[in-house]
Every structure is written in C-alpha cells, then in structure tokens.
C-alpha cells in the first residue's frame, strides 16, 4: 500500500459577507464546507468543479495561505501548525504552490534568478548556493540560464513565466506541489508544453501534485485520481478512469457531457443541465445539487447525502447510489426542481 502523504480532515471555511446596512443577519459564503480527503504519495489528484465550488479555497487552506475555520491538515502523519506537530515554516518547504496568473505571482522588481533563489535564502541557504541552484532549476524547466537568469518577468512570455513559477516552487525540493489553474491562462500550444514539463518533473523529483482545473480534458490527461466539487462539498472522488467512464453522480455526468464535442457530425443537441450554479450564500438544503438535478426526489431536498463507496476507492455522495437511503421509495417531487430556477 502506498503511503498517504496528505490528509485533509473536516476542512471548513465560511467567508463573512458584508451585511446590508439595516439587516442584522450576518451572512456567509459557504466556500468549503466540511471536506475530507487523502492524497496518496506520488499520485496526482485532480480537483474539478465550476467557479465558486471552492476548489481554489481548498488549495489555499491546504497551503495555509489563509486560516481554516475548522479542520486539520495532516502531512506525513504530522498535524500541520499544531503543537507537537509540523511547524508551519518547515511545512511550507514541503508543499509549494503555482498560481494561474503567472505575471501577478512574480515580483516585477526581481530578476528571474533572484526570484527563484529568494525563498531558499530566507530558509538559510547561502547566496552562492541559492544562485547555483536557481540556474540548475532554470535548465530543468527548459529555460537557458545564461539567457534568462538576469531577465525581469515582463521580458518573458506567459509560458516562460509559468516555467519560472514552476522552477521557484521546486527550489525547496517540495514533496507536494499544488497547481491552481496553472495552465488555464496559457495558449493551447504552450499549454501542451507546460503539461509535458509537469509530467517530466513529477517523474524526476518524485512529486505529488494537487492539480486544480476547470478543464476536464486536462484533468483527465494529468490526474491519477479526481475529486469533483460542487458548492463547497465533494460530490464524487475516485480513480480518474473510473470516474470518467462510470460517473455515479448526476453532476459529474452533466459536467462530463458539457464538454463540447469535437465531431462536427455529432454536435451536442441538448444541454445536460440548466441554470447557473446556485449562490453559495444560501446553498440549497439537502443535496446541494438537487435543484438542478433531473433525478431529484423529495428526499434529496431534505437529507444530505454522505460520501459512500460505490467501488473500492470510488466514492460518491448521491442518494441514488445507495439503496438504504430511501431514494427508491421517495416520491418524485419535481416542485423543487422548478423552485431552483428562481433561486
């Protein structure tokens, strides 16, 4: 059995929304609502979902870029930031992040080699060593150090900047790298180059990736496991081939069939799902997807489905898949489906 490198336990984050001047009620965006999962060492976990589903918040909570309301992150068996656990400063060396906006995540006043060596120098590496390492890393990500080391971020193209961000993330020899929409802003032809680079680096440095994306093709390509999120919760999780071929949650199925067909003779005829994702300030009761789900019955609006296995490591949160849930006997109450459209 391969070891679990990262455990996420009951992670929760609500963002307060500035209330109306006259209302007393404090409202919250339920960004991440009680999620738990494990990341296996050496595998890539893809996280997919629509905007506002909490995938980026999850990444930021794991990297400790903002405090969680509750929950725990356990890295290699040690609780992160807990007394007697792993110190935050050493945790940050083991887990690094690459963001979507390659320009905003680089300091415009530092040259590329200064950017990459900055982190290690903070962590007590000598200046000479850090610079040598920066040059090595630049070569590893396919940028000639003699040409690029002394350049500034604005002198590089988008794809080159993202390579620099990847090199900077690798400067600590991290064990886990979180890639938050890291290839989303790149042109298709450049995106393929960066995806190939990520695959090569993963093999070379024995990395574990958390790959967050809204592009289902890219997630399918790069991930070993995939986790589907909807309104702050996990709806389905499992090995990527299994989830893509035998999706058990209606939302996953809708998401997968919303991909444009590449065959002009077989264009999409019917939208798999109607409406926009609901407002995360007032998430629907019961199963959060019930107001857009064509299979919804009365029970779906009242009872929150738990994540339960359909096959060994393939879990899904949907009453339809669990005979004991009472879905079969529940009346098909379509009233909820129409109420959802008005939000």
What letter does residue 142 receive in the DSSP assignment? T
Question: Count of residues binding other proteins (CB under 8 A)?
Answer: 46
List binders of other proteins among 81-140 (CB under 8 A): none
State in angstroms the smallest separation of the CB of 114 from other proteins: 23
**Is the separation of the CB atoms in 197 and 138 below 8 Å?**
no
Per-residue string for binding with other proteins, 41-60, x by CB under 8 A?
Answer: ---------xx---------
Using CB atoms within 10 A of its CB, is residue 248 exposed (0-12), middle (13-18) or buried (19+)?
A: buried
Identify the residue among 254, 298, 315, 320 touching other proteins (CB under 8 A): 254
Q: Taking Cα atoms as reference points, which of 59, 47, 27, 71 lies closest to residue 280?
A: 27
For position 216 contacting other proteins by CB under 8 A, the verdict is yes
Identify the residue among 110, 139, 192, 307 touching other proteins (CB under 8 A): 192
Dihedral of alpha carbons 236, 238, 244, 248, sign: negative
Identify the residue among 2, 20, 189, 332 touching other proteins (CB under 8 A): 189
Identify the residue among 93, 151, 214, 295 touching other proteins (CB under 8 A): 214
For position 274 contacting other proteins by CB under 8 A, the verdict is yes
For position 27 contacting other proteins by CB under 8 A, the verdict is no
For position 190 contacting other proteins by CB under 8 A, the verdict is yes
Between 214 and 295, name the residue whose CB sits nearer to other proteins: 214
Q: Considering just the CA atoms, what is the radius of gyration of the chain in Å?
A: 22
List binders of other proteins among 144-183 (CB under 8 A): 157-160
Identify the residue among 67, 84, 264, 331 touching other proteins (CB under 8 A): 264
For position 313 contacting other proteins by CB under 8 A, the verdict is no
Q: Taking Cα atoms as reference points, which of 29, 35, 100, 26 lies closest to residue 61?
A: 35
Q: Taking Cα atoms as reference points, which of 271, 213, 219 lies closest to residue 240?
A: 219
**Is the separation of the CB atoms in 274 and 341 below 8 Å?**
yes
| Sheet with strand 4-17: strands edge to edge | 27-40, 4-17, 70-75, 78-79
Q: At what angle do helices 127-140 and 158-170 cross, to 10 degrees?
A: 130
State in angstroms the smallest separation of the CB of 72 from other proteins: 31
Between 66 and 341, name the residue whose CB sits nearer to other proteins: 341
Contacts with 80 (C-beta within 8 Å, 6 or more apart), sequence order? 64, 72, 73, 74, 86, 88, 91
Where on the chain is the footprint of other proteins (CB under 8 A)? 50-51, 157-160, 187-193, 195-196, 199, 214-218, 220-221, 244, 254-255, 258-265, 267-268, 270-277, 341-342
């Amino acid at each position: 059995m391969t070891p679990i490198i990262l455990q996420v336990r009951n992670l929760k984050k609500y963002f307060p929304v500035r209330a109306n001047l006259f209302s007393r009620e404090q409202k919250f965006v339920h960004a991440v609502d009680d999620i738990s999962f494990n990341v296996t060492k050496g595998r890539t976990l893809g996280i997919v979902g629509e905007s506002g589903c909490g995938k980026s918040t999850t990444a930021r909570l794991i990297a400790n870029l903002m405090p969680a309301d509750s929950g725990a992150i356990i890295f290699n068996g040690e609780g992160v930031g807990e007394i007697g656990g792993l110190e935050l400063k050493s945790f940050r060396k083991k887990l690094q992040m690459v963001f979507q906006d390659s320009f905003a995540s680089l300091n415009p006043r530092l040259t590329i080699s200064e950017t990459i060596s900055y982190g290690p120098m903070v962590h007590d590496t000598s200046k000479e060593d850090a610079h040598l390492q920066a040059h090595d890393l630049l070569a590893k990500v396919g940028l000639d150090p003699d040409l690029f080391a002394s350049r500034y971020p604005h002198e590089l193209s988008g794809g080159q900047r993202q390579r620099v961000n990847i090199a900077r993330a690798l400067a600590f020899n991290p064990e886990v790298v979180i890639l938050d929409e890291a290839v989303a802003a790149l042109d298709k032809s450049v995106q393929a180059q960066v995806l190939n680079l990520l695959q090569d680096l993963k093999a070379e440095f024995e990395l574990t990736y958390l790959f967050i994306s809204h592009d289902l093709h890219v997630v399918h390509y790069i991930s070993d496991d995939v986790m589907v999120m909807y309104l702050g919760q996990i709806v389905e999780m499992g090995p990527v081939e299994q989830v893509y071929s035998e999706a058990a949650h209606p939302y996953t199925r809708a998401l997968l069939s919303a991909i444009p067909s590449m065959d002009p003779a077989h264009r999409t005829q019917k939208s798999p799902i109607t409406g926009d994702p609901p407002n995360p300030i007032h998430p629907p009761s019961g199963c959060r997807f019930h107001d857009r789900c064509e299979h919804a019955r009365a029970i779906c609006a009242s009872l929150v489905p738990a994540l339960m296995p359909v096959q060994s490591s393939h879990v899904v949160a949907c009453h339809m898949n669990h005979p004991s849930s009472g879905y079969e006997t529940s009346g098909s109450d379509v009233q909820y489906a129409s109420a959802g459209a008005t939000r």
